[in-house]
A and B are shown apart, each in its own frame.
Chain A
Amino acid sequence: MSGEVQAGAVLGGLAEEQQLDGGPRRAGGRRGARPRRIGLGDWLLPAYAVIALVFLLIPIVYTFVFSFNDSIKSNISWRGFTFDKWLNVCNVEGGAVCEAFGNSIVIGLVSTLIATTLGTMIAIAIVRYRFRARSAISLLLFLPMATPEVVLGAGLAAQFLAVGVPKDMLTIILAHTMFCISFVVVTVKARVASLDPALEEAGRDLYGSPSQVFWRVTFPLLTPGILAAALLSFALSFDDFIITNFNSGSVSTFPKYVYISASRGIPAEANVIASAVFLFAIVLVIAAQVSRAARAKRLAKLG
């Protein structure tokens, strides 16, 4: 599994190790092997890992804490604890934060839906079919991921300018869908490739017509991969600023709102929204991780 897929899976908490080949479960395996530490000392590495993780979390904690700051306009120095910002998120600046947040959600959902559909179709075709121009298509899928966002954003903006398309919500959605497709392909492709073709053959052998085999065998087995891809896609879209900035015109999204407010001070309400999204995502992911571990334990017991 690639890093991307890992991220997608962890992101969605969907790293459900469902066996795809239907074969006997591999007993024991590497996980059982006792790791051999190599010279870094018995405590040095764990201690480092803890410090590193704490370091990664510092700005998150800061953002969370300052969502409770009783700030007036800008949210820079600590002025006392309050729940007000959590309770009245939309009351600042005529609800500009909430409007931007709402836009981000809509854009994320629509572009995720389109990108996941198109990307899944491509992933299936790439793994399962032979066609000409295969390497050209692989390159076309790889390039958007290797292109800096600023180039993607400027390119689309130049195109919209040349064609005379006004920038609005639609152009943002078109842009987000574009850069999400490749990620969906990579994520779903791994899932399709790990799907034992014998399962679909068994479906055909057991009197399933091509469409029945797809909807009753292939699609359910791909679901975890597709869901992971969709969640990854949503996260990418939701947090994108650079491409949005070039293609949004006057439409605000949550990251764009933060960027614009940065020069004059960001209201604590932005911290509230970011913290709420963070908590929602993290609870989801941790729950999925815990249930996955529990399931693994249960399976191990049965085996």
Chain B
Amino acid sequence: MAVREFAERGADLQLVGIQKRFPGFTAIESLDLTIPAGSFFALLGPSGCGKTTTLRLVAGLEEPTEGRILIGGADVTATKAHQRPVNTVFQSYALFPHMTVIENVAFGLRRRRIGDATSRAHEALKLVELDHLAQRRPQQLSGGQQQRVALARAIVNRPALLLLDEPLGALDLKLRRQMQLELKGIQEEVGLTFLHVTHDQEEAMTMADTVAVMNRGAIEQMGAPAELYDLPRTAFVANFLGQSNLLTGEVVGTTPTSIAIDAGGHRVVVPVDRAQVHRGRITVGVRPEKVSLHREAPAEASDRNVLGPGRVIDVSFSGVSTQYLVEVAGIGTLLVFAQNIGIGPVAALGDEVWIGWSVEHGFGLADLAPDEGRFAADDSTSSLAVQAREELVAELGES
């Protein structure tokens, strides 16, 4: 299936029952995924979660152990990388150092024997506003410029599917923002299907129409960024995408609209339709910015959860908001983000406070929060690294 034509528009991508095992570990357990044509889809997850493997499978750089890959309805599972209508913007950009910028951009067109490759390559360079550097070598460009050349080199082929492998990772914050906007603009302009792999939740949320959160070789949750943030279904998502206060306890009361749990002697209510599990021991959560601090015990109200009294054990000022860590007996520490609307802090270190939030802001998870603490996201990335290291050390010790 040699690709001689430009794709008119992006094609949809279907992954059916994909499994990928490497010697010694399984990168992807079982993955089913459909990405509609023309969408900007982000795979979000910590390093080692299988997202890059997924991307490489789609690109044809790895072969799945099991399962099928369909692009625009056609099965490409057995097709080699150079025969797929797919292009990749590599994490390291992978610009050929022995070619000029224009030669890099025209490389794919030349391989497909498409006429006037050079003028098309110039067009693509104009799109990323780098046509004036066409004769330079990649190593003479800045990181941001290289990234744009890599992008031009991929989109000039009008692939049915464009794969982005953490392409913004190497850029500094300001440049990254700018590139995010440009990428989004280009996607809207050329109408391709974008599959973007990243560990940066902000990048995923600002750019993608749909975000799939991956963890340990499987997709935990998928949806529009706002949806995912508002209603995370698992403890992993709740903590990987932003931060959450998670409370675990037995369900002690159920009404048609809400369920109540007993968390360390405190009654916490969540709406029924925002809870994944309705009986037994469950974990509920609330985003720290939805929580408010009170200097005095607020009046009981059926539509608010109130916890307290607690003590402020840490205050850290971050400009727009101030983060408070509040220790509540029987529950542990809770995180509160308070907008700095007034002047001065709402509470000081050691103050006695109550915290409260609207019942409608709470959510109930499908799984239980891990016991280690609330920062599941942190330990999933670094503990994976530690585990991998230990395995490696053990392996080296054996040989």
Contacts and interface: CB of A to CB of B under 8 A. Distances in A.
Nearest to B56: A201
B157 interface: yes
A206 B140 contact: no
Interface in B1-41: 3
A198 B111 contact: no
B61 A23 contact: no
Contacts of B88: 201-202, 205
Interface string B28-61: 0000000000000000000000000000000111
A204 B86 contact: no
Given A205-B87, A207-B82, A299 B139 contact: yes
B153 interface: yes
B357 interface: no
5 contacts: A23-B92, A199-B94, A205-B59, A206-B157, A221-B98
A208 B111 contact: yes
A225 to B, nearest CB: 13
Nearest to B159: A205
B130 interface: no
B163 to A, nearest CB: 8
Contact of B93 (A22, A205, A217): A22
A132 to B, nearest CB: 14
B112 A207 contact: yes
Chain B CB within 10 A, most for which of A19, A21, A23, A213: A23
Contacts of B59: 201, 205
A196 B92 CA distance: 9
Contacts of A302: 140
B60 A22 contact: no
Nearest to A18: B97
Interface centre among B61, B81, B87, B112 (most CB of A within 10 A): B81
A203 B107 CA distance: 8
B152 to A, nearest CB: 12
Given A19-B97, A24-B142, A202-B96, 15 more contacts: A18-B97, A18-B98, A21-B97, A24-B170, A25-B139, A204-B81, A205-B59, A205-B88, A206-B108, A207-B108, A207-B157, A208-B107, A209-B82, A213-B82, A217-B96
Given A205-B88, A206-B107, A299-B140, A22 B95 contact: yes
Nearest to B85: A207
Nearest to B399: A135
The 9 closest A-B pairs by CB, nearest first: A206-B108, A207-B111, A198-B94, A24-B143, A202-B94, A204-B81, A22-B95, A19-B139, A220-B98
B90 interface: yes
B153 A198 contact: no
Interface string A17-40: 011111111000000000000000
Contacts of A74: none
Interface of A: 18-25, 196, 198-199, 201-210, 212-213, 216-217, 220-221, 299, 302-303
Contacts, number: 98
Nearest to B149: A22
B138 interface: yes
Contact of B61 (A205, A220, A221): A205
A139 to B, nearest CB: 15
Contacts of B86: 205
B97 A20 contact: yes
Nearest to B2: A207
B84 to A, nearest CB: 8
Most A-side CB within 10 Å, residue of B59, B111, B143, B153: B111
A22 B138 contact: yes
Interface string B144-187: 00100000010001000000000000100000000000000000
A299 to B, nearest CB: 7
Between A18, A19, A22, A203, the greatest number of chain B beta carbons within 10 A of the residue's beta carbon is seen for A22
Given A206-B111, A212-B111, A201 B61 contact: yes
A288 to B, nearest CB: 18
Contacts of A212: 82, 111
A96 to B, nearest CB: 46
B157 A22 contact: no
A18 B96 CA distance: 11
Contacts of A216: 107
B292 interface: no
